[in-house]
Amino acid sequence: MKQKLFILLVCIVALGDLAGQNPLDYLKWMQHTLPESPEWTAWQQAGGELPPDFGQLPKSNLLPDPLRYLDGRPVGNTPAEWRARRNEIWKLFEKYVTGTFPPKPSVTQIVLLGETKGDGYTMQNVQVTFGPQGKGSVRIRTIIPDRPPQEKLPVMISPNLAGWGATVVRRGYISAGYAGNDAMDDAAPLKDIYPEYDFAVLPRRAWLAQIVVDYLATLPRVDMERIAINGYSRDGKMAMIAAALDERIAAVIAGSTGVGGIVPWRFSGERGGGEGIETTTRSFPTWFHPRLRFFSGAEDRLPVDANLLAALVAPRAALFQWGYADQVANGWAMEQAYASAQKVYERLGQPDRLGLLAVAGFHGSNDVEACMDWLERQFGRSKKEWVNRFIFPYDFGQWQADAGETTDLGAYPPQPAATPLAASLAEWDGKAGRLRSEIRRMLGDTPLKLVLPPSDRRPFPASRRPAYGPVEIAKGQAGNPGQLAPDVPSWVIAAGGASYGWTSPEKDNVASRRIFFDGVTGDLYYPAGTPEGTKLPTVIWLHGYHYPLGYMWVYRRDLHPILALTKAGYAVLAYDQSGFGTRWSEAAHFYDRFPHSSRMGKMVEDLSSAIDALQADTLTDTGSGVWVFGFTLGGSLGLYAAALDERIAGVVSIAGFTPMRTDTPERGMSGMTRYSHLYGLMPRLGFFAGHESQLPYDYDDLMALIAPRPVLIVQPLNDRDAHAGDVRSAVERAQEIFVLKQAAGKLELHEPDDYGRLTNDMQDKIIEWMKKHK
Taking 80 as the threshold, does the pLDDT of residue 58 lie above it?
yes
Band the pLDDT of 481: cuts 50, 70, 90.
very low
Percentage of the residues of the chain whose pLDDT score is greater than 90: 85
Question: Looking at residues 485-509, what average pLDDT do you find?
Answer: 72
Query: Residue 419: its pLDDT value, please?
Result: 87
* Lowest-confidence region among 172-181, 289-298, 447-456, 556-565: 447-456
Query: Residue 475: its pLDDT value, please?
Result: 52
Query: Residue 673: its pLDDT value, please?
Result: 97
Question: Looking at residues 117-125, what average pLDDT do you find?
Answer: 97
Query: Residue 2: its pLDDT value, please?
Result: 39
The full 3-state SS of 283-329, as one line of letters, equals HCCCCCCHHHHHHCCCHHHCCCCHHHHHHHHCCCEEEEEEECCCCCC
Q: Which residue has the higher pLDDT, 362 or 757?
A: 757
**Model confidence pLDDT, tens digit, residues 627-660:** 999 999 999 999 999 999 999 999 999 999 999 9
Band the pLDDT of 626: cuts 50, 70, 90.
very high
For residues 85 and 436, give the distance between their C-alpha atoms in angstroms, rounded to a whole number.
Answer: 48
Band the pLDDT of 466: cuts 50, 70, 90.
very low
Query: Residue 158: its pLDDT value, please?
Result: 98
Band the pLDDT of 469: cuts 50, 70, 90.
very low
Q: Backbone phi, then psi, for 135, in 5-degree steps?
A: -80, -20
For residues 366 and 504, give the distance between their C-alpha atoms in angstroms, rounded to a whole number.
Answer: 32
**Model confidence pLDDT, tens digit, residues 282-310:** 999 999 999 999 999 999 999 999 999 99
Question: Looking at residues 614-634, what average pLDDT do you find?
Answer: 95
Taking 60 as the threshold, does the pLDDT of residue 460 lie above it?
no
For residues 119 and 302, give the distance between their C-alpha atoms in angstroms, rounded to a whole number.
Answer: 52
Query: Residue 447: its pLDDT value, please?
Result: 64
**pTM score, whole prediction:** 0.94
Query: Residue 452: its pLDDT value, please?
Result: 60
Question: Looking at residues 537-566, what average pLDDT do you find?
Answer: 94
Listed in sequence order, the residues at least 6 apart from 150 whose beta carbon sits closer than 8 Å to its beta carbon are none
Taking 60 as the threshold, does the pLDDT of residue 89 lie above it?
yes
| 747-750 vs 136-145, strand pairing mode | unpaired
CA dist 609 → 99, 466, 604 (Å): 52, 21, 9
Long-range contacts of 458-462 (CB under 8 A, 24+ apart): 458/616, 458/617, 458/618, 459/513, 459/514, 459/515, 459/524, 459/616, 459/617, 459/618, 460/513, 460/514
For residues 291 and 52, give the distance between their C-alpha atoms in angstroms, rounded to a whole number.
Answer: 9
Taking 90 as the threshold, does the pLDDT of residue 461 lie above it?
no
Query: Residue 448: its pLDDT value, please?
Result: 61
Helix axes 234-245, 201-216, angle to 10 degrees: 60
Question: Looking at residues 416-441, what average pLDDT do you find?
Answer: 94
Band the pLDDT of 18: cuts 50, 70, 90.
confident
Give the three-state DSSP class for 623.
Answer: coil
Query: Residue 161: its pLDDT value, please?
Result: 98
For residues 623 and 584, give the distance between their C-alpha atoms in angstroms, rounded to a whole number.
Answer: 33
For residues 308 and 289, give the distance between their C-alpha atoms in angstroms, rounded to a whole number.
Answer: 17
> How many CA within 13 A on the CB side of residue 572?
26
Percentage of the residues of the chain whose pLDDT score is greater than 70: 91
Q: Residue type for 550, please?
A: G
Band the pLDDT of 610: cuts 50, 70, 90.
very high
User: Taking a C-beta distance cutoff of 8 angstroms, is the pair 605, 446 a contact?
Assistant: yes
Nearest Cα neighbor of 347 from 73, 89, 677, 74 is: 74
Band the pLDDT of 549: cuts 50, 70, 90.
confident
**Model confidence pLDDT, tens digit, residues 376-406:** 999 999 999 999 999 999 999 999 999 999 9
User: Taking a C-beta distance cutoff of 8 angstroms, is the pair 729, 763 a contact?
Assistant: no
Query: Residue 457: its pLDDT value, please?
Result: 52
DSSP 24-53: HHHHHHHHHHSPP-HHHHHHHHHH-PPPP-
Query: Residue 428: its pLDDT value, please?
Result: 97
Query: Residue 352: its pLDDT value, please?
Result: 97
Q: Residue type for 430, please?
A: G
Band the pLDDT of 463: cuts 50, 70, 90.
very low
